[in-house]
Amino acid sequence: MKLEFKNLKELHEYYAVHNNCKLKDVATQPVYEIDPPKEGIVLIGEAPGKNEDLQGRPFVGAAGKFLNDLLDHVGLQREDIYVSNVVKYRPPANRDPQEEEKDACRVWLNAELLYIKPRIIVTLGRHALSRFVPDANISSCHGNVFMHKSRIPVFAMFHPAAALYNPNLKETMFKDMEKLVDYLKKLPAIEEKEEAINDLLKL
Ligand code: URA
């Protein structure tokens, strides 16, 4: 059965009920964004933190503030992009999400990507990277593009929170944002890409 959704809000409300992620028993609420990105750019983080859990929206805490600085550096706004997470619920005490939690949220993230049909996926950190480029190492892969079998390019970046713990990474992340924007300039516009993605998106 192919599910059809009127908008992202409806999609999220459906998957908030139809998922068996155990974290939903301990989190305040699922965390998601409801506006599609104006520039077809989807960023994928790891899992919500405390502020996200309270507000129900991704990247609204300290990591989100640095993400905004990164976007600002290359002239992008939050509405140009869409942010999601591999796991939709906050893990207790911000521990790493476990494999079974990532698996439980997998179809939800797939559904978001199928709905949005992004021009590019930007992975933030190792959990999102390994979801699209298995066995890749973030330290050697950041700043590079990988062609996913769906033919959606995947651009690897460190997680913004990593730069909060290790400020030396900030400069690297600003440089990677510049590389991302250079790459985007070479990509076809959203409308031209849509038809190809419709056929090929099998994440
Ligand atoms: N870190 C993440 O990976 N996701 C968020 O939404 C916030 C912080």
User: 30 near 24, Cβ under 8 Å?
Assistant: yes
CA distances for 200 relative to 83, 112, 145, 148, 192, angstroms: 22, 15, 18, 10, 14
pLDDT mean across residues, the chain: 94
DSSP character at residue 144:
-
Q: What is the pLDDT of residue 176?
A: 98
| pLDDT more than 90, % of the chain | 90
Instruction: Kindly state the average pLDDT of the residues 122-135.
Output: 96
The answer, yes or no, to whether any atom of ligand 1 lies below 6 A from the CB of 128, is: no
Instruction: Kindly state the average pLDDT of the residues 99-110.
Output: 98
The answer, yes or no, to whether any atom of ligand 1 lies below 6 A from the CB of 47, is: yes
Q: What is the pLDDT of residue 96?
A: 97
How far does residue 85's CA lie from ligand 1's centre (Å)?
A: 7
Residue 74 lies in a domain: yes
Residue 1 lies in a domain: no
How far does residue 152's CA lie from ligand 1's centre (Å)?
A: 22
Lowest mean pLDDT among 25-29, 123-127, 190-194: 190-194
Q: Which two tokens stand for residue 25?
A: 């028993």
Instruction: Indicate if the pLDDT at residue 195 is higher than 80.
Output: no
The answer, yes or no, to whether any atom of ligand 1 lies below 6 A from the CB of 63, is: yes
Residue 156 lies in a domain: yes
Domain span at residue 96? 8-202
Instruction: Indicate if the pLDDT at residue 187 is higher than 90.
Output: no
pLDDT digits (tens, 9 = 90+) for 23-73: 999 999 999 999 999 999 999 999 999 999 999 999 999 999 999 999 999
Instruction: Indicate if the pLDDT at residue 191 is higher than 60.
Output: no
3-state secondary structure 34-102: CCCCCCCEEEEECCCCHHHHHHCCCCCCHHHHHHHHHHHHCCCCHHHEEEEECCCCCCHHHCCCCHHHH
Q: Which two tokens stand for residue 93?
A: 């005490």
Q: Grade residue 197 by pLDDT with cuts at 50, 70 and 90.
A: low
Residue burial 70-109, b: 16+ Cβ < 10 Å; e: rest: bbeeeebebeebbbbbbbbbbbeeeeebeeebbebbbebb
Residue 173 lies in a domain: yes
How far does residue 192's CA lie from ligand 1's centre (Å)?
A: 31
How far does residue 48's CA lie from ligand 1's centre (Å)?
A: 4
CA distances for 64 relative to 49, 70, 98, 133, angstroms: 10, 10, 22, 24
Q: What is the pLDDT of residue 2?
A: 81
Domain count, the chain: 1
pLDDT digits (tens, 9 = 90+) for 151-164: 999 999 999 999 99
Q: Provide the CATH number for the domain around residue 66.
A: 3.40.470.10
Residue 101 lies in a domain: yes
The answer, yes or no, to whether any atom of ligand 1 lies below 6 A from the CB of 158, is: no
The answer, yes or no, to whether any atom of ligand 1 lies below 6 A from the CB of 176, is: no
Residue 3 lies in a domain: no
Q: What is the pLDDT of residue 84?
A: 98
CA-125 nearest atom, ligand 1:
3
Instruction: Kindly state the average pLDDT of the residues 193-203.
Output: 56
Q: What is the pLDDT of residue 200?
A: 53
Q: What is the pLDDT of residue 188?
A: 74
Distance between CA 101 and CA 80 in Å, rounded? 29
